[in-house]
Structure 1
Amino acid sequence: MIYSIDVTIEAPVQGTEIADRVEDAVTNLFPDAEFRREPDRFIAESHSLDAFSDTLHEQEILDTARREFFNGRDDEGFSFSLKKQPAFEGVVNFAVGSEDELGDIRVRVDVREPDVESFIDYVAPPTEDGRPVDPDDR
């Protein structure tokens, strides 16, 4: 299956933060993202979530990721937020509730092909007993 997506990542940079560390936080989870710096934030764009998906599998947080993706889902795609400090360490930690005082990394995924649910299944497949389930085995 061919996937066609646009990923936009926004990370605020506060005056008390080192901009390179904020950029590293994003790069650790989205290594192929292309950056542009604005005065108070980084905006990065990508066309893949493969490395991010690998991290979700390694951390064994597919169910949490699916929940966050579906909570942020609309007709065109889905959105979610991540905590900066864990991202700096290469760890996915979804931001829920109130925003961190330094701001969260906001991610928007627009899905053109195939459809939103199929792409979510690709990035964070359904699980059974914590293990990804092959849809053909159901």
Structure 2
Amino acid sequence: MSEVYSVDVQITAPVYDTEVPDRVADAITNVFPGAELDHKHGEIVGETHDLSHFSELLHRREILDTARGAFFENRQGETFSFDLKKQAAFQEVANFAVGDPDELGEIHVRVRVIEPDVETVIDHIAPPTQDGRPVETDDR
């Protein structure tokens, strides 16, 4: 039986005067293709309920452990958040922003888990690994 995953994902990214807003929007939709975006003065905000493409990008780059660390480090109750580099996202690459902020700013993502729970959703997006490979479980 397949698990039901229900999440609300809020995405925000600053748009600086030197940037083209449509390129920032493209960066977001390259990582979150189903996101509904709204252009506001100085930023783009978006919402989605699907993290499957983002999960694919994490698997493709083989950065599941990095992702899990970022998710659990920024977990608060039933939410977790993380920042992605805009320039990488424009190239359809998931690259976590850590340390000093990037000069173009970052894409901030906040995930609120409705069901089943945060740990299960994180395991689905970025499964635990052993020797760099996802650990297979009975329900995968």
Q: TM-score range by the shorter chain?
A: over 0.9
TM-score, length of structure 2 as denominator length? 0.95
AA in 2 matched with 1:8: Q
Partner Cα distance (2:19, 2:115) in 1: 37
Q: Which residue matches 2:31?
A: 29
Unaligned runs of 5+ in 1: none
Within the alignment, does 1:53 sit opposite 2:70 as a pair? no
Alpha-carbon distance, 1:99 to partner: 1.1
Partner Cα distance (2:87, 2:105) in 1: 10
Moved over 6 A (4+): none
Count of residues in correspondence between the two structures = 137
Q: Which residue matches 1:17?
A: 19
Q: Which residue matches 1:129?
A: 131
- Secondary structure of the 2:4 match is coil
Q: Which of 93, 100, 119 is 1:91 aligned to?
A: 93
Unaligned runs of 5+ in 2: none
> Cα RMSD between the aligned structures?
1.1
Alpha-carbon distance, 1:130 to partner: 1.0
TM-score, length of structure 1 as denominator length? 0.96
- Secondary structure of the 2:13 match is strand
Identical residues among aligned pairs (%): 59
- Secondary structure of the 1:97 match is coil
Q: Which residue matches 1:67?
A: 69
Partner Cα distance (2:93, 2:33) in 1: 13
